[in-house]
Amino acid sequence: MRLAIGGLPGSGTTTLARLLSERLGIPMVSSGELFREMANERGLSLSQFGELCERTPEVDREIDERMRRASREMDSGIFEARLAAHFAIADLKVWLKAPAEVRAMRVAQREGIEVERALSVMLEREKSEHTRYMKYYGIDLHDLSPYDVVLDSHTFNPEQLAEIVLCCIAQLSSGR
């Protein structure tokens, strides 16, 4: 089984991917981990590497290509990235959503910053990503049609989200 999990910052994609990885006993490939790995390879801090990605489309595209390659090479796995449904080979594609204010509170807690600051940085990042993804790939992040399931992580907690996805997997498996 290959799962693609996408969502905007603070939507809970990493939390859900980790839960499912543990429950299913399959590996997880995270775009955040790829990002950190690539920054480390270049001897850059995360913020320096982020700036490099903004200026250098080839570096940004390399992250997506590593995700694509990993999904081709693995028989099963969970691929967590904003564009996972577009680049990972997956049997089930899940998008997590939540209101911006809720996501900002999560990001603020995770990063140890003020909610207002988290919201501002998050919205700026999303604007940049929307522009880059449209320019590089013609992908509109507002178009959720590539996803099989769209779940609200404000309505459901991580355990409930995992149960819903596991039910979807069971349904897919029984239909084969």
Binding annotation: 7-15
Binding residues for ATP: 7-15
HEC sequence for the chain: CEEEEEECCCCCHHHHHHHHHHHHCCCEEEHHHHHHHHHHHCCCCHHHHHHHHHHCHHHHHHHHHHHHHHHHHCCCEEEECCCHHHHCCCCEEEEEECCHHHHHHHHHHHHCCCHHHHHHHHHHHHHHHHHHHHHHHCCCCCCCCCCCEEEECCCCCHHHHHHHHHHHHHHHHHCC
